[in-house]
Amino acid sequence: MSDDWIDEVIDGKPEKSNIYQIGIIEGLQTTSSYRWDGNIETLTYLEAEELIIKLKENDNPKDPKDQYKKMFRGGMFNS
């Protein structure tokens, strides 16, 4: 992002997704049951954030420890 970020906001041009978001999306696509077939390079910052949220909500970790943590957070062991 340039030093004149306020000009970009006022002009109404959406900010492109950054390399960190793309990395998170690519990593989550391997374990998430949510399928998205779009082009990562064309995502805006906000679209990438929404996609990350959807991928995390439908994430199915491969590590048993992470699976247990997800089940525990989901309330599976509450009585």
Instruction: Give the Cβ contact number of residue 49 at 10 Å.
Output: 13
Tell me the sheet residues that pair with 59. 32
Tokens of 37: 């077939």
**Cβ-based neighbours of 54, under 8 Å, separated by 6 or more:** 34, 36
pLDDT higher for 26 or 70? 26
Q: Compute the chain's Rg from CA coordinates.
A: 17
Tell me the sheet residues that pair with 32. 59
Domain boundaries, the chain: 13-73
Tell me the sheet residues that pair with 16. 44
What is the rounded average pLDDT of the residues 39-67?
Answer: 91
What value, to the nearest 5°, has the Cα angle with vertex 71 and ends 69 and 74? Answer: 110
- pLDDT band at 52; cut points 50, 70, 90: very high
